[in-house]
Structure 1
Amino acid sequence: MTAAAQMLTVRVPLADRKPRGGRKLILTPGGMAPRGTTAPDTTLVKALARAFRWRRMLETGRYGTIDELAAAEKINSSYVSRLLRLTLLAPGIVEAILDGRQAEGVTLPGLMGPFSVEWGRQS
């Protein structure tokens, strides 16, 4: 029996609007307000969107390697590799980030840094 590969597609439709004061306001589809009491971390949401876009480019064969992708995007391949790890987050965590409900302290620098040794240990 062969296991079929599964692919998860995350689409994040965003529209930038400038209200008074020059700050950017992100509107969700249909103008719905995000769930929860806090606004999503836009840096983290953009990083997720970029990571899933890059993964799709690799999976469809547009680029054969991370190095080719990094050269095309004119960025460091190490950065691409670290950002691609975001595509491995559990769907519930991705949804929480998109809704602005992620755990306190969940930031892009924290997710791109080395993982804790404790994560690899089984209890």
Structure 2
Amino acid sequence: MTNYSADIGEILRNAPNLIKGVGIAEGLAKTFNLATDAAYGWWGTEGDMDDFANEMGPQVREEDQKLESALLALSQAVQAVYDSVSAQATDIQKPQNDALDSINQASSDPGSARR
């Protein structure tokens, strides 16, 4: 027989720390966007005879999009971990609650105890 135990209260108390991670990732994305907006166009004016600007503009936008996508994926991953931890805590708590209910019922009605 496999035995396991978990401190559900501790799990549920610490789970909100994971949500802070979601906020951090979202904050990084906002900070990144503000920083890149401030420097937008550093490569020059595209469309003119500026070969450097014509080459760098699309590359910069592509890299910005990749980083934004990565930060969004990070945020979603942390949210998924939070959801998983919360669901597992509930799955663990249900049999514990069922066992406590059975114990309470048995102690209030000694004739119903399982033997």
Give the TM-score taking structure 2 as reference length. 0.26
Rg larger in structure: 2
| Structure with the largest fraction of helix | 2
